[in-house]
Structure 1
Amino acid sequence: MPRHALPLAAAAFTTAAALLLTACGGGDKSSAGDAKGADKGPGRPSASPPNAGAPNAGVPADFHLVFDFDTPTDAKQASALSSAESYIRALKHGISMQDPNDPAYQYYSQGQAAEYAKSQIQSWVKGHWTVTGTDKYYDADVTALNGSTRELVTFCRNQAKSHSKEIKTGKILYTEENADSYVKYQLLMHPPSGPSKAWKAAVIEVQEGAKECRK
Protein backbone atom coordinates (compact mmCIF):
# COMPACT_ATOMS: atom_id res chain seq x y z
CA MET A 1 0.00 0.00 0.00
CA PRO A 2 1.45 3.41 -0.90
CA ARG A 3 2.23 5.50 2.15
CA HIS A 4 -0.29 8.15 1.06
CA ALA A 5 -3.23 5.81 0.71
CA LEU A 6 -4.47 7.20 4.05
CA PRO A 7 -5.37 10.70 2.77
CA LEU A 8 -6.45 9.44 -0.63
CA ALA A 9 -9.24 7.47 1.01
CA ALA A 10 -10.56 10.71 2.45
CA ALA A 11 -12.01 11.73 -0.91
CA ALA A 12 -15.38 10.24 -0.05
CA PHE A 13 -15.62 12.50 2.98
CA THR A 14 -14.34 15.77 1.50
CA THR A 15 -17.69 17.19 0.38
CA ALA A 16 -19.39 16.52 3.72
CA ALA A 17 -16.44 17.98 5.58
CA ALA A 18 -16.40 21.13 3.49
CA LEU A 19 -20.11 21.69 3.99
CA LEU A 20 -19.86 21.28 7.76
CA LEU A 21 -16.85 23.54 8.06
CA THR A 22 -18.51 26.22 5.94
CA ALA A 23 -21.61 26.07 8.12
CA CYS A 24 -19.51 26.87 11.16
CA GLY A 25 -18.86 30.38 9.94
CA GLY A 26 -15.72 32.47 10.34
CA GLY A 27 -13.62 32.92 13.42
CA ASP A 28 -10.75 34.73 15.01
CA LYS A 29 -7.46 32.99 14.39
CA SER A 30 -5.15 32.24 17.25
CA SER A 31 -1.90 30.81 15.97
CA ALA A 32 -0.57 27.73 17.66
CA GLY A 33 2.85 29.38 17.48
CA ASP A 34 2.14 31.87 20.25
CA ALA A 35 4.08 29.84 22.80
CA LYS A 36 6.49 26.95 22.49
CA GLY A 37 5.49 23.68 24.15
CA ALA A 38 8.06 22.76 26.78
CA ASP A 39 8.07 19.07 25.86
CA LYS A 40 7.85 19.41 22.08
CA GLY A 41 11.01 20.77 20.54
CA PRO A 42 11.29 20.89 16.74
CA GLY A 43 11.52 17.46 15.14
CA ARG A 44 11.05 15.57 18.40
CA PRO A 45 8.38 12.89 18.83
CA SER A 46 5.45 14.16 20.86
CA ALA A 47 5.35 13.02 24.47
CA SER A 48 1.92 14.37 25.35
CA PRO A 49 0.56 12.60 28.44
CA PRO A 50 -2.72 10.73 27.84
CA ASN A 51 -5.96 11.88 29.41
CA ALA A 52 -6.91 9.98 32.56
CA GLY A 53 -8.91 6.94 31.51
CA ALA A 54 -7.95 7.25 27.85
CA PRO A 55 -7.32 3.98 25.94
CA ASN A 56 -3.80 3.02 24.95
CA ALA A 57 -2.75 4.65 21.67
CA GLY A 58 0.84 3.46 21.39
CA VAL A 59 2.43 2.77 18.00
CA PRO A 60 5.07 0.23 16.88
CA ALA A 61 8.69 0.86 17.85
CA ASP A 62 9.72 1.23 14.20
CA PHE A 63 7.09 3.91 13.55
CA HIS A 64 7.79 7.44 14.73
CA LEU A 65 5.10 10.08 14.97
CA VAL A 66 6.57 13.58 15.12
CA PHE A 67 4.28 16.47 16.05
CA ASP A 68 6.29 19.67 15.61
CA PHE A 69 3.53 21.80 17.13
CA ASP A 70 3.76 24.89 19.28
CA THR A 71 1.32 25.10 22.17
CA PRO A 72 -1.35 27.85 21.99
CA THR A 73 -1.44 30.24 24.96
CA ASP A 74 -5.20 29.75 25.25
CA ALA A 75 -5.87 26.67 27.40
CA LYS A 76 -8.99 25.65 25.46
CA GLN A 77 -7.22 25.81 22.15
CA ALA A 78 -4.22 23.96 23.57
CA SER A 79 -6.54 21.13 24.64
CA ALA A 80 -8.23 21.02 21.24
CA LEU A 81 -4.85 20.77 19.51
CA SER A 82 -3.64 18.08 21.91
CA SER A 83 -6.74 15.96 21.25
CA ALA A 84 -6.38 16.44 17.49
CA GLU A 85 -2.85 15.07 17.83
CA SER A 86 -4.18 12.17 19.90
CA TYR A 87 -6.79 11.42 17.23
CA ILE A 88 -4.05 11.01 14.62
CA ARG A 89 -2.01 8.87 17.00
CA ALA A 90 -5.08 6.74 17.82
CA LEU A 91 -5.81 6.19 14.12
CA LYS A 92 -2.26 4.89 13.61
CA HIS A 93 -2.65 2.73 16.72
CA GLY A 94 -5.78 1.17 15.23
CA ILE A 95 -3.86 0.38 12.04
CA SER A 96 -1.01 -1.22 13.97
CA MET A 97 -3.51 -3.25 16.02
CA GLN A 98 -5.44 -4.16 12.83
CA ASP A 99 -8.68 -3.31 14.63
CA PRO A 100 -11.35 -1.21 12.84
CA ASN A 101 -13.24 -1.00 16.14
CA ASP A 102 -10.25 0.02 18.23
CA PRO A 103 -11.39 2.08 21.27
CA ALA A 104 -8.59 4.64 20.94
CA TYR A 105 -9.86 6.48 17.85
CA GLN A 106 -13.42 6.25 19.17
CA TYR A 107 -12.33 8.03 22.35
CA TYR A 108 -11.03 11.00 20.35
CA SER A 109 -13.64 11.19 17.58
CA GLN A 110 -17.30 11.06 16.66
CA GLY A 111 -19.48 11.31 13.58
CA GLN A 112 -17.71 11.67 10.24
CA ALA A 113 -14.23 11.77 11.77
CA ALA A 114 -14.85 8.44 13.50
CA GLU A 115 -16.18 6.96 10.25
CA TYR A 116 -13.08 8.20 8.45
CA ALA A 117 -10.75 6.59 10.99
CA LYS A 118 -12.62 3.30 10.82
CA SER A 119 -12.55 3.24 7.00
CA GLN A 120 -8.81 3.95 7.01
CA ILE A 121 -8.10 1.11 9.42
CA GLN A 122 -10.32 -1.24 7.43
CA SER A 123 -8.31 -0.49 4.27
CA TRP A 124 -5.04 -1.34 5.97
CA VAL A 125 -6.50 -4.49 7.54
CA LYS A 126 -7.78 -5.63 4.14
CA GLY A 127 -4.32 -5.15 2.63
CA HIS A 128 -2.51 -6.76 5.59
CA TRP A 129 -0.32 -3.68 6.00
CA THR A 130 0.94 -1.83 9.03
CA VAL A 131 2.82 1.44 9.50
CA THR A 132 6.56 2.06 9.66
CA GLY A 133 9.00 4.95 9.20
CA THR A 134 8.60 8.56 10.33
CA ASP A 135 5.40 10.57 9.96
CA LYS A 136 5.81 14.31 10.57
CA TYR A 137 3.11 16.88 11.37
CA TYR A 138 3.79 20.61 11.66
CA ASP A 139 2.54 24.21 11.23
CA ALA A 140 -0.51 23.79 13.46
CA ASP A 141 -3.09 26.55 13.77
CA VAL A 142 -6.19 26.70 15.97
CA THR A 143 -9.13 28.90 15.01
CA ALA A 144 -11.88 29.91 17.44
CA LEU A 145 -15.25 29.79 15.69
CA ASN A 146 -17.46 32.78 16.41
CA GLY A 147 -20.56 31.94 18.42
CA SER A 148 -19.45 28.36 18.92
CA THR A 149 -17.62 26.26 21.49
CA ARG A 150 -15.89 24.34 18.71
CA GLU A 151 -12.36 24.86 17.43
CA LEU A 152 -10.96 24.36 13.94
CA VAL A 153 -7.51 22.75 14.02
CA THR A 154 -5.36 22.90 10.89
CA PHE A 155 -1.91 21.41 10.34
CA CYS A 156 0.43 20.04 7.68
CA ARG A 157 1.92 16.61 7.18
CA ASN A 158 5.05 15.41 5.41
CA GLN A 159 4.59 11.70 4.75
CA ALA A 160 7.68 11.26 2.59
CA LYS A 161 9.32 8.98 5.16
CA SER A 162 6.15 7.23 6.32
CA HIS A 163 5.66 3.85 4.67
CA SER A 164 3.47 0.78 4.65
CA LYS A 165 4.86 -2.61 5.66
CA GLU A 166 3.50 -6.03 4.76
CA ILE A 167 2.63 -7.76 8.03
CA LYS A 168 3.31 -11.28 6.73
CA THR A 169 6.65 -10.66 5.00
CA GLY A 170 7.92 -7.51 6.72
CA LYS A 171 8.53 -5.97 3.30
CA ILE A 172 8.48 -2.17 3.35
CA LEU A 173 6.64 -0.54 0.46
CA TYR A 174 8.67 2.56 -0.27
CA THR A 175 7.28 5.45 -2.30
CA GLU A 176 9.33 8.26 -3.83
CA GLU A 177 8.72 11.73 -2.42
CA ASN A 178 6.43 13.78 -4.63
CA ALA A 179 3.93 16.64 -4.47
CA ASP A 180 1.38 14.39 -2.73
CA SER A 181 3.83 13.82 0.13
CA TYR A 182 2.63 17.15 1.53
CA VAL A 183 -0.83 17.02 3.06
CA LYS A 184 -3.07 19.55 4.81
CA TYR A 185 -5.50 18.49 7.54
CA GLN A 186 -8.52 20.33 8.92
CA LEU A 187 -10.28 18.93 11.97
CA LEU A 188 -13.41 20.35 13.55
CA MET A 189 -13.00 19.67 17.27
CA HIS A 190 -15.91 19.48 19.73
CA PRO A 191 -15.32 20.26 23.42
CA PRO A 192 -15.39 17.55 26.11
CA SER A 193 -18.75 16.28 27.32
CA GLY A 194 -19.64 13.86 30.08
CA PRO A 195 -16.80 12.22 32.03
CA SER A 196 -14.28 12.47 29.17
CA LYS A 197 -11.75 15.30 29.31
CA ALA A 198 -10.82 14.89 25.67
CA TRP A 199 -11.97 17.03 22.78
CA LYS A 200 -13.38 14.98 19.92
CA ALA A 201 -12.75 15.33 16.20
CA ALA A 202 -16.17 15.53 14.55
CA VAL A 203 -15.14 16.32 10.96
CA ILE A 204 -11.86 15.78 9.13
CA GLU A 205 -10.89 17.06 5.70
CA VAL A 206 -7.64 15.94 4.05
CA GLN A 207 -6.01 17.69 1.09
CA GLU A 208 -3.13 16.02 -0.74
CA GLY A 209 -0.60 18.01 -2.73
CA ALA A 210 -0.95 21.04 -0.43
CA LYS A 211 1.50 23.61 -1.75
CA GLU A 212 1.36 25.62 1.48
CA CYS A 213 2.76 22.61 3.34
CA ARG A 214 5.89 22.26 1.21
CA LYS A 215 8.97 23.30 3.12
Structure 2
Amino acid sequence: MRTRRTTAAATALTAAVALLLSGCGGSGAADAKDTKDGDRIAGADAGTETGSATPSASAADDGIERPEIKLPSDVRNVFEGGATGDAKKDAVLADNERRINSIDEAITVDAKKYPALQFYSKGDALMSAASYIKSFRDEARSFTGTTRYYDREVTFLKDGAASVTYCMDATQTYPKDRGTGKVDRSVKASPSDYVFYSTRLEKNSEGVWQTATVSSTEAAEQCM
Protein backbone atom coordinates (compact mmCIF):
# COMPACT_ATOMS: atom_id res chain seq x y z
CA MET A 1 0.00 0.00 0.00
CA ARG A 2 2.90 2.30 0.52
CA THR A 3 6.31 2.49 -1.09
CA ARG A 4 9.11 4.81 -0.12
CA ARG A 5 10.38 6.83 -3.04
CA THR A 6 13.95 7.89 -2.47
CA THR A 7 15.18 8.96 -5.89
CA ALA A 8 14.98 12.56 -7.10
CA ALA A 9 17.11 15.28 -8.60
CA ALA A 10 19.41 17.15 -6.24
CA THR A 11 17.64 20.44 -6.87
CA ALA A 12 14.27 18.92 -6.06
CA LEU A 13 15.62 17.38 -2.88
CA THR A 14 17.11 20.67 -1.74
CA ALA A 15 13.84 22.45 -2.40
CA ALA A 16 11.91 19.78 -0.48
CA VAL A 17 14.17 20.08 2.55
CA ALA A 18 13.94 23.88 2.52
CA LEU A 19 10.15 23.72 2.29
CA LEU A 20 9.69 21.25 5.13
CA LEU A 21 12.28 22.60 7.54
CA SER A 22 11.33 26.23 7.10
CA GLY A 23 7.73 25.38 7.82
CA CYS A 24 5.28 24.43 5.08
CA GLY A 25 2.28 23.60 7.21
CA GLY A 26 -0.25 22.56 4.63
CA SER A 27 -3.99 22.47 4.58
CA GLY A 28 -6.56 19.80 5.04
CA ALA A 29 -6.32 16.45 6.71
CA ALA A 30 -3.26 14.30 7.10
CA ASP A 31 -0.73 13.71 4.38
CA ALA A 32 -0.05 10.22 3.15
CA LYS A 33 2.62 7.70 2.63
CA ASP A 34 3.62 6.16 -0.63
CA THR A 35 1.52 3.41 -2.03
CA LYS A 36 1.36 0.49 -4.26
CA ASP A 37 0.09 1.34 -7.74
CA GLY A 38 0.13 4.95 -6.58
CA ASP A 39 -3.06 4.46 -4.59
CA ARG A 40 -2.41 2.70 -1.36
CA ILE A 41 -0.44 4.36 1.34
CA ALA A 42 1.16 2.80 4.34
CA GLY A 43 1.52 4.57 7.66
CA ALA A 44 4.99 4.41 9.01
CA ASP A 45 4.65 5.92 12.38
CA ALA A 46 1.86 5.71 14.78
CA GLY A 47 0.59 8.14 17.29
CA THR A 48 1.69 7.27 20.76
CA GLU A 49 0.97 3.60 20.21
CA THR A 50 4.02 1.68 19.13
CA GLY A 51 3.11 -1.91 19.90
CA SER A 52 6.08 -3.72 21.42
CA ALA A 53 8.22 -0.67 21.06
CA THR A 54 11.58 -0.19 22.68
CA PRO A 55 10.70 1.45 26.03
CA SER A 56 13.04 4.39 25.48
CA ALA A 57 11.39 5.19 22.16
CA SER A 58 8.35 6.71 23.86
CA ALA A 59 9.98 8.18 26.94
CA ALA A 60 13.71 8.76 27.15
CA ASP A 61 15.53 9.24 30.45
CA ASP A 62 18.89 9.94 28.84
CA GLY A 63 18.81 13.66 29.59
CA ILE A 64 18.49 14.65 25.92
CA GLU A 65 15.91 17.36 25.18
CA ARG A 66 13.94 15.80 22.36
CA PRO A 67 11.20 17.32 20.18
CA GLU A 68 7.76 15.88 20.80
CA ILE A 69 6.25 13.73 18.07
CA LYS A 70 2.46 13.36 17.82
CA LEU A 71 0.65 11.33 15.19
CA PRO A 72 -3.06 11.12 14.37
CA SER A 73 -5.08 8.55 16.29
CA ASP A 74 -5.83 6.65 13.07
CA VAL A 75 -2.14 6.09 12.30
CA ARG A 76 -0.37 3.37 14.26
CA ASN A 77 3.11 1.86 14.04
CA VAL A 78 3.96 -1.41 15.68
CA PHE A 79 7.66 -1.97 16.38
CA GLU A 80 8.22 -5.62 17.19
CA GLY A 81 11.09 -7.08 19.13
CA GLY A 82 11.13 -4.96 22.28
CA ALA A 83 14.31 -4.36 24.23
CA THR A 84 17.38 -6.38 23.29
CA GLY A 85 18.97 -6.34 26.73
CA ASP A 86 21.86 -4.30 25.34
CA ALA A 87 21.45 -0.65 26.37
CA LYS A 88 23.48 0.67 23.43
CA LYS A 89 21.51 -1.32 20.87
CA ASP A 90 18.25 -0.28 22.50
CA ALA A 91 19.26 3.39 22.19
CA VAL A 92 19.95 2.93 18.47
CA LEU A 93 16.61 1.18 17.87
CA ALA A 94 14.76 3.86 19.84
CA ASP A 95 16.15 6.64 17.66
CA ASN A 96 15.41 4.59 14.55
CA GLU A 97 11.77 4.40 15.68
CA ARG A 98 11.68 8.11 16.38
CA ARG A 99 13.04 8.81 12.93
CA ILE A 100 10.27 6.77 11.32
CA ASN A 101 7.69 8.57 13.46
CA SER A 102 9.10 11.97 12.56
CA ILE A 103 8.58 11.26 8.87
CA ASP A 104 5.00 10.16 9.42
CA GLU A 105 4.32 13.22 11.53
CA ALA A 106 5.45 15.48 8.69
CA ILE A 107 3.21 13.56 6.30
CA THR A 108 0.06 13.33 8.40
CA VAL A 109 0.09 16.39 10.66
CA ASP A 110 -0.34 20.02 9.62
CA ALA A 111 2.24 22.16 11.40
CA LYS A 112 4.41 25.17 10.75
CA LYS A 113 7.60 23.25 11.45
CA TYR A 114 8.76 19.67 11.98
CA PRO A 115 11.77 19.82 14.31
CA ALA A 116 11.90 16.05 14.84
CA LEU A 117 12.54 15.47 11.15
CA GLN A 118 16.02 16.98 11.17
CA PHE A 119 16.62 15.95 14.77
CA TYR A 120 16.71 12.27 13.77
CA SER A 121 17.84 12.51 10.13
CA LYS A 122 20.75 14.12 8.37
CA GLY A 123 22.53 14.18 5.02
CA ASP A 124 21.15 11.88 2.34
CA ALA A 125 18.55 10.40 4.70
CA LEU A 126 17.13 13.85 5.47
CA MET A 127 17.03 14.79 1.79
CA SER A 128 15.26 11.61 0.72
CA ALA A 129 12.77 11.86 3.60
CA ALA A 130 11.91 15.44 2.70
CA SER A 131 11.42 14.53 -0.96
CA TYR A 132 9.22 11.60 0.01
CA ILE A 133 7.07 13.74 2.30
CA LYS A 134 6.70 16.47 -0.30
CA SER A 135 5.48 13.96 -2.89
CA PHE A 136 2.42 13.30 -0.72
CA ARG A 137 1.75 16.96 -0.16
CA ASP A 138 2.02 17.66 -3.87
CA GLU A 139 -0.62 14.99 -4.55
CA ALA A 140 -2.82 16.00 -1.59
CA ARG A 141 -2.59 12.50 -0.18
CA SER A 142 -2.39 11.02 3.30
CA PHE A 143 -2.80 7.59 4.86
CA THR A 144 -4.43 5.71 7.70
CA GLY A 145 -3.91 2.30 9.31
CA THR A 146 -1.27 0.20 10.99
CA THR A 147 2.28 -0.44 9.79
CA ARG A 148 4.35 -3.24 11.27
CA TYR A 149 8.16 -3.15 11.70
CA TYR A 150 9.94 -6.39 12.51
CA ASP A 151 13.14 -8.45 12.20
CA ARG A 152 15.06 -5.41 13.43
CA GLU A 153 18.79 -5.91 13.88
CA VAL A 154 21.57 -3.59 15.03
CA THR A 155 25.22 -4.00 14.07
CA PHE A 156 27.94 -1.66 15.27
CA LEU A 157 30.50 -0.69 12.67
CA LYS A 158 34.23 -0.17 13.07
CA ASP A 159 33.96 3.58 12.48
CA GLY A 160 31.58 4.03 15.41
CA ALA A 161 28.39 4.16 13.37
CA ALA A 162 25.58 1.60 13.57
CA SER A 163 23.71 -0.35 10.92
CA VAL A 164 20.01 -1.06 11.45
CA THR A 165 18.13 -3.41 9.13
CA TYR A 166 14.43 -4.14 9.39
CA CYS A 167 11.29 -5.16 7.52
CA MET A 168 8.11 -3.18 7.02
CA ASP A 169 4.64 -4.62 6.44
CA ALA A 170 2.26 -1.98 5.09
CA THR A 171 -0.60 -4.29 4.11
CA GLN A 172 -2.90 -2.82 6.76
CA THR A 173 -2.71 0.80 5.59
CA TYR A 174 -4.93 2.72 3.20
CA PRO A 175 -4.74 5.94 1.18
CA LYS A 176 -6.54 8.97 2.52
CA ASP A 177 -7.51 12.15 0.69
CA ARG A 178 -5.81 15.05 2.41
CA GLY A 179 -8.59 17.50 1.68
CA THR A 180 -11.73 15.43 2.25
CA GLY A 181 -10.35 12.85 4.69
CA LYS A 182 -11.93 10.07 2.63
CA VAL A 183 -10.20 6.69 2.98
CA ASP A 184 -9.96 4.29 0.05
CA ARG A 185 -10.23 0.79 1.50
CA SER A 186 -10.69 -0.83 -1.89
CA VAL A 187 -6.95 -0.91 -2.55
CA LYS A 188 -5.59 -4.43 -2.22
CA ALA A 189 -2.33 -5.45 -0.57
CA SER A 190 0.54 -6.51 -2.81
CA PRO A 191 4.11 -7.85 -2.51
CA SER A 192 5.41 -4.26 -2.77
CA ASP A 193 3.90 -3.61 0.67
CA TYR A 194 6.73 -5.66 2.16
CA VAL A 195 9.90 -3.59 2.25
CA PHE A 196 13.39 -4.33 3.56
CA TYR A 197 15.42 -1.38 4.89
CA SER A 198 19.12 -0.98 5.51
CA THR A 199 20.14 2.18 7.34
CA ARG A 200 23.27 3.78 8.74
CA LEU A 201 23.02 5.76 11.98
CA GLU A 202 25.67 8.08 13.39
CA LYS A 203 25.75 9.41 16.95
CA ASN A 204 25.98 13.19 17.15
CA SER A 205 27.49 15.39 19.87
CA GLU A 206 24.18 15.43 21.77
CA GLY A 207 24.07 11.64 21.93
CA VAL A 208 21.32 11.23 19.31
CA TRP A 209 21.63 8.40 16.78
CA GLN A 210 20.80 10.19 13.53
CA THR A 211 20.01 8.26 10.37
CA ALA A 212 22.49 9.29 7.67
CA THR A 213 21.69 6.93 4.79
CA VAL A 214 18.79 4.66 3.86
CA SER A 215 18.34 2.02 1.18
CA SER A 216 15.22 -0.05 0.60
CA THR A 217 14.02 -3.06 -1.38
CA GLU A 218 10.33 -3.45 -2.19
CA ALA A 219 8.65 -6.83 -2.47
CA ALA A 220 11.48 -8.17 -0.31
CA GLU A 221 11.23 -11.94 -0.01
CA GLN A 222 12.92 -12.00 3.40
CA CYS A 223 10.09 -9.84 4.78
CA MET A 224 7.18 -11.93 3.54
**TM-score, with structure 1 as normaliser:** 0.75
Give the stretch that moved more between structures: 106-115 or 124-133: 124-133
The question of 1:188 aligning with 2:192 is answered no
Match of 2:188 in 1: 176
1:103-132 superposed Cα distances (whole Å, 9 cap, x missing partner): 111100100110111111111111112221
Q: Give 3-state SS (helix, strand or coil) of 2:208's partner.
A: coil
Question: Structure 1 residues 4 and 172 mapped into 2: Cα distance closer, same or farther (>3 Å)?
Answer: same
1:93 to 105, 116, 131: 105
Q: Which residue of 2 aligns with 1:36?
A: none
- Report the CA distance shift for 1:199/1:4 in structure 2 as closer, same or farther (over 3 A): same
Change (3 A) 1:85 1:56: same
> Is the 1:153–1:189 contact (alpha carbons within 8 Å) kept by the matching residues of 2?
yes
Distance 1:101 1:113, change over 3 A: farther
| Separation of aligned partners in 2, 1:183 and 1:142 | 17
**Within 5 A, what are the aligned runs for 1:59-138?**
59-98=71-110, 102-138=114-150
Kept in 1, the 8 Å contact 2:171–2:193? The answer is yes
What is the CA distance between 1:98 and its match in structure 2?
4.6
1:4 pairs, out of 2, 5, 21, with 2
| 2:51 equivalent among 44, 55, 78 | 44
Do residues 58 (structure 1) and 70 (structure 2) align? yes
Q: 4+ residue runs of structure 1 moved beyond 4 angstroms? A: 98-101
Tell me how far apart the structure 2 counterparts of residues 12 and 155 of structure 1 sit (CA, whole Å): 23
Deviations 1:76-111 (A, max 9, x none): 222111111110011000111256962111100100
State the secondary structure of the residue aligned to 1:161: strand
Whether the aligned pair in 1 keeps the contact of 2:8 and 2:131 (CA below 8 Å) is no
Residue 211 of structure 1 is matched in structure 2 by: 221
Deviation of 1:58 (Å)? 1.3
Contact 1:45 1:65 in 2 (8 A): no
How far apart in 2 are the matches of 1:112 and 1:99? Answer: 23
Which blocks of at least 5 consecutive residues in structure 2 are unaligned?
A: 10-49
Shift of 1:49: 2.5
Whether the aligned pair in 1 keeps the contact of 2:72 and 2:109 (CA below 8 Å) is no
Count of matched residue pairs: 178
In the superposition, the TM-score normalised over structure 2's length comes to 0.73
Asked whether the 8 Å contact 1:45–1:64 carries over to 2, the reply is: no
SS at match of 1:124: helix
Deviations 1:148-196 (A, max 9, x none): 1100000000000122211211111342111111111111000131xx3
* Equivalent residue, structure 2, for 1:167: 178
Letter in 1 for 2:103: L
* Residue identity (%): 28
Are the counterparts in 2 of residues 98 and 125 from structure 1 also a CA contact under 8 Å? no
Matched residues in 2 for 1:134 and 1:92: separation?
12
Q: Distance in 1 between matches of 2:113 and 2:203?
A: 23
Q: Structure 1 CA distance, aligned partners of 2:68 and 2:175?
A: 22
